[in-house]
Chain A
Amino acid sequence: MKLYLGVDLGSTTSKAVLIDEHERVVGRGITNTRSNYDVAVEVARRDALTDARLAEAVRLLGGDAPAVVEAFWLIQDLRRLERLRETCRATASAMPGEGARLAPTVDLVLTRLADEADTLFSAAARGRGSFFRDVVGARFHALAEEVCRRGDVDFERLLGVYDRAILEAENEIVEIPFGEAFAAAAARAGLSPDRRTSAEAIGWHVARTPIDLAGFVGTGYGRARLPFPRDCIRSEILCHGLGAFAMRPQTRTVLDIGGQDTKAIQVDERGLVTSFQMNDRCAAGCGRYLGYIADELSLGLHELGPMALRSKRPSRITSTCTVFAGTEVRDLLSVGEKREDVLSGLHRAIITRAMSLLARSGGVNDELTFTGGVARNPAAVAALHDMVEAHYGPRTINVDADSIYTGALGAALFARRGVPAEDLEEAKECTGCSA
């Protein structure tokens, strides 16, 4: 397989996309961007490669595929969970004085967690955009509380063990040989003996198929940290423009609201950027702002949008400065405004700011594609629809379920189309991208 890799190292999530010579997406990987950027990129890249092999194996297998795919990823999660358990044990045992009591308790919590793994990690329960850390963290918290209530171990101490262990565990790259994992998935999915034999053969065949990375391009907030040659790095503005254009070829304007910045981009009929504007130094009105507000209100980030949509009378929020808005939210709540109204006002404030950047970049004259983490927030999407229509008249606004991969897709397309051969020669020296 000759493939091209695009990596988008964002401030919140790291994404990798693999495309083939016909520019079809064959694999994707995503992970939360940890303090360790290098690991985040490596995890996303490996996941994308595994995803590409899985897609190929599933294609060869035919039928029964969704069950095998789900089982395949569950096996990966179980392996991670096992590593977490080992790390927790080691961390607890190493704690002077308390180790003897903490270690069995943390083990008990993780055993219970493992018992629920099938349900916990099922695609439906896990939902889009939740990472191993999110899924495990919430359940560990609940189970630990229950166990500690009945025992003599301090809950906070137990959480301390977990917090240390998860940092270590998630910065460790866990990989099961593809053939082995696929065979195990086929067994777990309950395939007939014949088909299991066939799946095993396919798994080992796909595992042996060499993947040649014929090109790669990195982009995103942390792109300077990528172990790529200088000419294999592209600005995320260009990548988002081209990625959005590839997903929706009628796109002429792209609005990307990510964790740290907001970009309004105009592209031409080839997907080339003709003009762009982005926010100034502070991350006002970006994903981080919503994260901050979610913390202020003790809500999950994913709960903000649906709650804001329940509002009948949005509050008027005058500030998009993250810190000032936090104060304003507290003030409004203290005078009795409803949470949904305040949240609705906040979403409108974010989009008002984005509208200004859109206007500065040249306006919305045709189809607009909305990308970035904030595009997954239904209240932000609704506010954008309202305001674009009010300012520019009816316009098609595209919001793809997979829009989070837009930048990585654009990067992969640049890799496929434009990296000069001498840079690829130079890249042979690069150890960070080995397939």
Chain B
Amino acid sequence: MSNVRKEPSMEAQKQMLAGYFGELARAKEERRPVVYTFVPGNLVELLAAFDVAPVYPEVNALQSAMRQRSGGFIREAERAGHSEDVCSYVKCDLGMMMKGNVGPTGEALPPPDLLLLSFTGCFTFMKWFELLREQYKCEVAMLHVPYQGAGEVTPEMRAYVVEQLEREVIPKLEKVTGKKFDPDRLREQMVRSRKAEEDLAWVFRAARQRPSPIDAYFGGVYYIGPIFTSFRGSQAACDYYAQLRAEVEERLAAKAGPITPDGPLEHEKFRLVFEGPPNWTSFRDFWKVFSDEGAVAVASTYTQVGGTYERGFRHDPERPLESLADYCLSCYTNLSLPNRAAVLADMVKGYDADGFIIHSVKSCNSFSAGQLHLLREVEKLTGVPGGFIESDLVDARYYGHANIKNRVESYLQMLAARRAGAAAPGAPALAPEEVRP
């Protein structure tokens, strides 16, 4: 693994992550309350205002998968009676818990004092926390987030979420921490959130250039790491995103492509938009399927599950609770299918993409339900053909490398053939001289 190429900011992030898991391991010793919560719609600024330590079970699952440990955890959960069809994030987390709740870096994770469910767009989240509540017998705070069925956030929806923050979430946090809510501390966090969000949005928008200096999906999942989790609102996040932006600015000025694990991508042949989460168990191989073909992700929907920053969302210190409500309501998976199709179509057009790939994961109904319909709709809206591949989040049994490679290569060759029109009947032969190989 030593020859894997990384951006300097990736090294910085690795340190941040190691520090984070170290802090979690010390949380009980330092009498710091622990809150388990999920990435979509997370209220990390509010948690930081109470000085609690947040744990993200999905992040643990994907980190375990990238370290090839998810398979054992999943089998553990299945031995305990969870069906093969249950979301693999859930089983990975439960399996990890059953094996002593040792986190991806090898340090023990603290048990929760509060389970904070701040996004209900994923029904599995509720069931997941029900199982954890059974195990830990701790407080649960649930924020019901209305679905954007009609395609917009109405004032009533916002007010409904704010009311729950005031009546349910904040009192529970006050209870487990013994501290009074301080709106000024929340505002301070949000000022820093906003700064980091500006830089991240700039980084993603840089992919509009040719060649794109970033890979907005495979590289993008690293870029969203700090801001989607415990670092948003921290000075560390501001520093990280300033560093990332400077790196991307440099590549942009040099007209250089993204850094892949095998080195810089020198020839951008295909610009693609991605829908759906990546596979984590074979992440590098999955990326390589595309990078080997000169395919670059110029935009992705997965990098919007924890904040639609490219589309303009920013945390607003002037209206902190309302902005938290908007954040929860605007999760990408809380959008209706027509809205998601419009987001994808905007990306295809705005980033001048040659095509789009839908990666349908078995585990995640929030993403996967309706994706074939989405494929056809985006094709209609853009006139650009889509490609469809299937695997899973953290269950390696559902990742078929040869099948994915075959589909992706076929799709890219289809785009190339359409671009060239080379297969048109009567097209001239391209070999004037005779060749005897």
Contacts and interface: CB of A to CB of B under 8 A. Distances in A.
Partners in one complex: yes
B385 A275 contact: yes
B429 interface: yes
Nearest to B415: A273
Contacts of A65: none
Contacts of B424: 270, 272, 417
B266 to A, nearest CB: 16
A424 B406 contact: no
Nearest to A237: B410
A303 interface: no
Contacts of B410: 235-238, 273, 276
A355 interface: no
Given A238-B417, A275-B385, A276-B410, A215 B431 contact: yes
B425 A434 contact: no
A368 B29 CA distance: 69
B105 interface: no
Given A238-B410, A238-B414, A360-B372, A272 B423 contact: yes
Interface string B59-77: 0000000000000000000
B406 A278 contact: yes
B235 interface: no
Nearest to A432: B437
Nearest to A229: B437
Contacts of A138: none
A212 B429 CA distance: 14
B380 to A, nearest CB: 12
Interface in A403-435: 413-414, 416-421, 424-425, 427-431, 433-435
Given A270-B421, A272-B417, A272-B418, A277 B388 contact: yes
Contacts of B409: 235
Contacts of B422: 414, 417-418
Given A235-B413, A275-B385, A276-B414, A214 B372 contact: no
Given A235-B410, A280-B390, A419-B431, A273 B417 contact: yes
A270 to B, nearest CB: 5
Interface string B394-437: 00001010010011011101100110111111010111111111
Interface string B304-323: 00000000000000000000
Given A238-B413, A270-B424, A271-B425, A212 B434 contact: yes
A210 B390 CA distance: 48
Q: Which of B403, B418, B422, B437 has the most CB of A within 10 A?
A: B437
A137 B410 CA distance: 38
Contact of A213 (B427, B430, B432, B435): B435
Given A214-B435, A280-B390, A242 B400 contact: no
B324 to A, nearest CB: 40
Interface in A239-290: 242, 261, 270-281
Interface of A: 2, 21, 210, 212-216, 234-238, 242, 261, 270-281, 360, 362, 413-414, 416-421, 424-425, 427-431, 433-435
A434 B390 contact: no
A242 B423 contact: yes
A414 B388 contact: no
Interface in B198-243: none
Contacts of B420: 418
B400 A420 contact: no
Contacts of B437: 213, 216, 424, 427-431, 433-434
A369 to B, nearest CB: 16
Contacts of B427: 417-418
Contacts of B435: 212-215, 424-425, 427-428
Given A210-B436, A414-B423, A416-B429, 6 more contacts: A212-B434, A234-B413, A235-B410, A272-B421, A274-B418, A425-B435
B423 A271 contact: yes
Contacts of A362: 376
Q: Which 3 A-B pairs have the closest CB atoms?
A: A281-B400, A235-B410, A418-B422
Contacts of A421: 430-433
Given A276-B410, A280-B390, A417 B432 contact: no
Contacts of A235: 406, 409-410, 413-414
A186 B379 CA distance: 59
Nearest to A422: B430
A273 B387 CA distance: 12
A235 B423 CA distance: 14
B430 A417 contact: yes
B418 A214 contact: no
A373 to B, nearest CB: 18
11 contacts: A212-B435, A213-B436, A215-B430, A238-B423, A271-B425, A281-B400, A413-B423, A417-B422, A417-B427, A419-B430, A421-B432
Nearest to B424: A270
Contacts of A431: 437
A237 B387 CA distance: 13
B245 to A, nearest CB: 36
A210 B434 CA distance: 11
A419 B423 CA distance: 10
Contacts of B413: 234-235, 237-238
B417 A278 contact: no
A351 B403 CA distance: 21
Contacts of B407: 278
B386 to A, nearest CB: 8
Nearest to B422: A418
A219 to B, nearest CB: 10
A228 B304 CA distance: 42
A435 B436 CA distance: 7
Nearest to A435: B436
A322 B352 CA distance: 43
B434 A214 contact: yes
A110 to B, nearest CB: 38
Nearest to A429: B437
Nearest to B399: A281
Nearest to B427: A417
A39 B321 CA distance: 70
A425 to B, nearest CB: 8
A280 B390 CA distance: 7
B403 A281 contact: yes
Contacts of A419: 430-431
A269 B70 CA distance: 47
B182 to A, nearest CB: 52
Contacts of A261: 403, 406
A76 B434 CA distance: 30
